[in-house]
Structure formats: structure tokens, C-alpha cells
Amino acid sequence: MRRATAALVCSAVVLTGCATAQRPDPLEPMNRKVFAFNDAVDAAVLKPVAQVYKAVLPSPVQLAVSNFFGNVKDAWSAVNLFLQGRFADGLSDVMRFGTNTVFGFAGVMDIATELGFERHGEDFGQTLGRWGVPTGAYIVWPILGPSTVRDSIGLPVDMKATPESVVSVSLTRNTMTGLRLVSTRAGLLSATGLIDDIALDKYTFVRNAYLQRRRSLVYDGNPPDEEDPDAMMPPEAPAAAAESAASAPAPKAR
């Protein structure tokens, strides 16, 4: 086990070194193959099942299922917020988990949101990001989908924090994992339909959207501006932009 961890860390370091501005996606050839495989599996199995799930189950039941899994995520989110040193937000997620577990019948009802406790949804990948671990190369995993080196390190830890990981009977555990996947997929049906409509190349689009979204999540929806050589400025803007950059206080390094 220890050797496997060491190997993972080593390869992570190597891969991190590979992702540069010139080569944002060093694993692209392999990633594209896995992406195509995932797409095929999704079209053949996951999407049809999710469509049936959405069509057949009454929506209150669907909501209850997604609330139940969401509730366990809130507990894990609280742990991550504490790890990031954000104690007020962490306490708020503890309150969420407590309220929904006790008064929401083990989490099937989301009462905390009605009471004004907003969900934070932090995972271990975001915690690593807060700690300053670089993103590393983009990786597409079979079935699990888009990820990065950093998020992949977080992945096994995050998977420990699902309700089924405490269930010892394997049939129940597998059913729960299946239900969780289908429930998640059903929630994404309209979004994936949209991607089919607007993306010129689905692989590039999903990669870009994933990386942008993860970056935004690490900075809680407000990431600092990136240096952007390709950006088009309106003719009179460059001078003004330089001026405001000079007068603005330097962005805080995270």
C-alpha cells in the first residue's frame, strides 16, 4: 500500500511538471480514447437508465434520494472546510448536516436550505487547491470522467466519504452506489443535452469547462483574473487597463 502511494505521488509530480501553458493537455491522446469509451458507456447504459429513472419515479422521491446523498456530502464538506481553516462555513455545514439528519429524516428532506444554511459542497480536491497544490495535468478516468492530477489524489478520499462505504453488505453497497450514480446522472440530463448542442468538439469543450469550473470552485466562484495573451481588447482599452492595474492593489496570493 505504501509503495502504491509513493508511486502515485511520484507519477503525480511527473505529470504536474508536464502540464504547461504550451501543453495544457499532455495526456490528450489517451484521454480522448477514455472519453470516447465513457461516452459509449453513457449512451448505452447510464443515460437510458437515468432517463427511465427520471420518467418513472415521482419527483419528490427523486428529490429525497438526491437529498439523502447530498446530506452525507455536507458532513464531508464540513470536514474539508475545517481543513481549509474556514471555521464559520464549516460550522454552517455541520448545522446543515445535523438539522437535516435529525429533522429531515436522515437527510431525505433538506430543511436546512429553507432555514437559510447554504450548501458549500467542498471536496478534498478543493481543499488541496486551497493548500496550494497545483492542478496538474487533465486526466479522464474510465466511468469516473474528467479529473486532474490534484482531483485524482482527492478522489479516493472523497469516495470514502459516501454513505455506502459504511455499509458492510456488498449487495446493499453496490445498489447504493448504483442509485447514487443514476441520481447524479438524472440531474445532469438537461446539461449534457446542452453540451451536445453547443460544443464543436465535445472533448475540448468538456475539458475547458471542467478546468474552469474547478478553478472557480477553489476560489469560491471568484477566481483572480488570469494572464491572457489571446484576449482581444477594444482599441482604447489597453492604456486604461494598464492604468487601473497600476493603481489597483496587488491581488492577494492564495
Partner 1 sequence: MLKSRWTSLIATAALVLATTVAQAQTAPDAWIKQISGEVIDAVKADKAIQAGDTQRILALVNAKILPGVDFQRMTSSSVGRYWRQATPEQQKRLQEEFKTLLVRTYAGALTQVKDQTVELKPLRAKPEDTEVLVRSEIKGKGEPIQLDYRVEKVADGWKIYDVNVLGVWLVESYRASFSQEISASGIDGLISKLAEKNKAAAAKG
Which residues would be at the binding site for partner 1 (CB under 8 A)? Answer: 63, 66, 118-119, 121, 187, 190, 193-194, 197-201, 204-205, 207-209, 212-213, 215-217, 221-223, 230-232, 234, 237, 240
Cα radius of gyration (the chain): 21
CB closer to partner 1, 1 vs 230: 230
CB closer to partner 1, 160 vs 254: 254
d(CA 17, CA 247): 34
Q: Specify the 3-state DSSP secondary structure of 136.
A: coil
Question: Rounded to the nearest whole angstrom, what is the least distance from the CB of residue 166 to partner 1 in the complex?
Answer: 25
Question: Rounded to the nearest whole angstrom, what is the least distance from the CB of residue 194 to partner 1 in the complex?
Answer: 7
Burial track 220-234 (b if 16+ CB lie within 10 A, e otherwise): eeeeeeeeeeeeeee
15, 137 contact by CB (below 8 A):
yes
C-alpha cell, 123:
471536496
Question: Rounded to the nearest whole angstrom, what is the least distance from the CB of residue 121 to partner 1 in the complex?
Answer: 8
CB closer to partner 1, 63 vs 167: 63
Which helix (H) or strand (E) segment holds residue 148: the answer is: strand 145-148
* Beta strands at 145-148 and 138-141: parallel, antiparallel or unpaired: antiparallel
Question: Rounded to the nearest whole angstrom, what is the least distance from the CB of residue 13 to partner 1 in the complex?
Answer: 26
How does DSSP classify residue 138?
E
CB closer to partner 1, 26 vs 167: 26
CB closer to partner 1, 56 vs 198: 198
Question: Rounded to the nearest whole angstrom, what is the least distance from the CB of residue 232 to partner 1 in the complex?
Answer: 5
